[in-house]
Amino acid sequence: MKIVVIGGTGLIGSKLVAGLGERGHEAVAAAPNTGVNTLTGEGLADVLTGAQVVIDVANSPSFEDAAVLEFFETSTDNLMAAEAAAGVDHHVGLSIVGTERPPERGYFRAKVAQENLIQKSSIPFSIVHATQFFEFTRGIADSATEGNTVRIAPVAYQPMAGDDVARQVGRVALGSPLNGRIDIAGPERFRMDEFFRDALAFWNDPREVVTDPHAHYFGAEVEENSLVPIGDAVLGTIRYSEWPRRGQAAK
């Protein structure tokens, strides 16, 4: 089966392409560096020829509110139109757990807009909501840093490994369209401030993690369950303490 992975050279996309290829599928990485640009439409018609499934794991190059909204609206519009013309049978979109809940953030609003376009399309679809990736731990800590202090809210946090994300997205892509969404998360739930305190201690990072109920997470305060699944979720198997790349995050 031909499966086109939009964003197929990135963190999750490259894992999807490799995993689907190992299972005998024709997995094609589509990204600007392979000649496919969803913002302009360049290369879409050619790469989608003969495709049965499209998986979109592309991300915006900018997280600024207006730019990220423009990216997801324009690229998703172009992609869904091209898929309809190519006769694609199943569209799979990767999104984020909690996009539909307050407090609102610009990036989450953009992902909601993307999901709405997917649902309004004629293409049968599945939307996968994932929690934060282990690979983003360093970046999240850096974004919360003021001087030598990392301010983190004492809320629920259930991150997962990129390998688990790719495995679950691939499983959904090979199944029948859900015409709905599924939540995926890591196997363990933490308190966010404690998770980052332990992570920085493991890295021998001198910054102090301060528990702050009003700490912002990428532009907005978070509530107790803003970042975790509510109800059923498919859980990954890789624990953060066992994640092979945990030590590399310290470098």
Residue 123 pLDDT level (bands cut at 50, 70, 90): very high
Q: Locate 97 and state its tokens.
A: 């757990």
Nearest to 80 by CA among 50, 120, 52, 112: 120
The pLDDT score that the predictor gives to residue 229 is 96
Only one residue has tokens 């909601």, namely 112
Q: Locate 200 and state its tokens.
A: 């920085």
pLDDT at residue 245 is higher than 60: yes
Q: Strand pairing partners for 221?
A: 216
Cβ distance 150 to 208 under 8 Å?
Answer: yes
Cβ distance 90 to 125 under 8 Å?
Answer: yes
The alpha carbon of 234 is separated from its chain's Cα centroid by a whole number of angstroms, namely 15
Cα separation, 239 vs 166, whole angstroms = 15
Cα separation, 168 vs 177, whole angstroms = 14
pLDDT tens string 57-114? 999 988 888 999 999 999 999 999 999 999 999 999 999 998 887 656 788 889 999 9
Mean pLDDT of all residues belonging to the chain: 94
Domains of the chain plus CATH, in order, are 2-250 (3.40.50.720)
Q: What is the pTM of this model?
A: 0.94
The pLDDT score that the predictor gives to residue 100 is 81
The pLDDT score that the predictor gives to residue 101 is 77
Cβ distance 190 to 224 under 8 Å?
Answer: no
Cα separation, 191 vs 150, whole angstroms = 15
pLDDT at residue 248 is higher than 90: no
The pLDDT score that the predictor gives to residue 120 is 96
As to burial, measured by CB atoms within 10 angstroms (0-12 exposed, 13-18 middle, 19+ buried), residue 184 is buried
pLDDT tens string 210-219? 999 999 988 7
Cα separation, 245 vs 86, whole angstroms = 39
